[in-house]
């Protein structure tokens, strides 16, 4: 008899209560490696990941590696990615791979097969996707995520200015693209049953309060909110868009933590400097 695994949403809520809701972006760019006095090589990439995992220990609820910074090192870089994902999973941390996949048919199915489920290439707890080819093209991906207790975070409103003209474009039914995606995402979660929430939303932390309507359309979906720190948003900005939805939010930052390295104590201090206000926000204070 097979049992349905606990959903990503359920596991996140438990870890957010005991650790914090903060999601650390793992972005080993050329500049970050140089700041850590590491070579821009596979070995430098590997050393960076090991040092960061050592510093994080069992502190994090969620870690979000950006796949591009591993892919640029070729197949050996992807081996490092697999290794660091396993390292964080062993620490009880949820893994969210930032790949922003988006395609149709068997190609999209293959992407999903590489990401979710025991025996898959990456076996992550969540990943990011784009719906430019239609939200319906992601329906099977969301279902696969549900079946494996994972979550598909779909870009709804990004924080980059270039995204606004497309995401705010108004369709024939009077809704913006972002509103239509949000409505469809909510329907996907409704089909999965209460509390499962296999479809999450990417909503930039730097967005204006006018996007509150989009947040409301998303219902109970988890909200991945990149943009804190070096991109300009602070924890004090989160209530402007997400008040009343505090327990759904995964506040996300990368560079503002990573730039504290490579010193282990400094990294841990930077982590706590992000975790503490994320706890306060989650409590609705």
Just list the catalytic residues: 100
The tokens of 158 are what?
């990004």
* Residue 106 CB partners (closer than 8 Å, separation 6+): none
The tokens of 183 are what?
């409505």
Nearest-angstrom CA–CA distance, 246 and 22? 12
| Residue with the two structure tokens 């270039």 | 162
Count of C-beta atoms within a 10 Å radius of residue 271: 22
| Residue with the two structure tokens 């490092």 | 80
* Residue 66 CB partners (closer than 8 Å, separation 6+): 25, 26, 27, 98, 254
DSSP for 151-168, please give it: EEEEEEE-SSGGGHHHHT
Closest CA to 105 of 61, 141, 80, 150: 141
The tokens of 178 are what?
């972002």
DSSP state of 228: B
CA angle 106, 112, 139 (to 5 degrees): 75
* Residue 128 CB partners (closer than 8 Å, separation 6+): 96, 97, 98, 99, 100, 101, 153, 154, 155, 202, 224
Which helix (H) or strand (E) segment holds residue 143: the answer is: helix 139-147
The tokens of 225 are what?
């909110």
Phi, psi of 281, deg, nearest 5: -65, -45
């Amino acid at each position: 008899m097979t049992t349905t695994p606990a959903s990503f949403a359920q596991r996140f809520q438990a870890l957010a209560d005991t650790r914090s809701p903060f999601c650390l972006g793992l972005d080993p760019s050329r500049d970050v490696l140089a700041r850590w006095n590491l070579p821009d090589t596979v070995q430098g990439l590997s050393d960076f990941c090991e040092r960061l995992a050592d510093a994080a220990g069992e502190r994090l609820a969620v870690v979000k590696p950006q796949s591009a910074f591993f892919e640029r090192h070729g197949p050996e870089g992807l081996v490092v990615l697999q290794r660091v994902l396993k390292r964080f999973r062993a620490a009880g941390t949820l893994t969210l791979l930032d790949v922003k996949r988006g395609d149709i048919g068997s190609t999209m199915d293959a992407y999903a097969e590489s990401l979710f489920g025991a025996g898959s290439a990456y076996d992550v707890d969540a990943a990011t996707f784009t719906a430019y080819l239609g939200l319906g093209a992601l329906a099977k991906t969301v279902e696969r995520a549900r079946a494996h207790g994972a979550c598909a975070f779909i870009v709804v409103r990004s924080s980059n200015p270039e995204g606004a003209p497309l995401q705010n474009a108004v369709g024939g039914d009077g809704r913006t693209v972002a509103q239509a995606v949000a409505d469809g995402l909510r329907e996907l979660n409704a089909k999965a049953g209460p509390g499962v929430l296999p479809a999450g939303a990417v909503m930039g932390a730097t967005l204006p309060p006018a996007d509150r309507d989009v947040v409301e359309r998303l219902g109970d979906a988890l909200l991945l909110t990149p943009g804190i720190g070096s991109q300009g948003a602070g924890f004090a900005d989160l209530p402007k868009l997400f008040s009343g939805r505090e327990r759904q939010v995964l506040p996300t930052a990368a560079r503002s933590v990573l730039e504290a390295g490579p010193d282990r104590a400094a990294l841990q201090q930077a982590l706590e400097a992000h975790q503490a206000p994320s706890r306060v926000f989650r409590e609705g204070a």
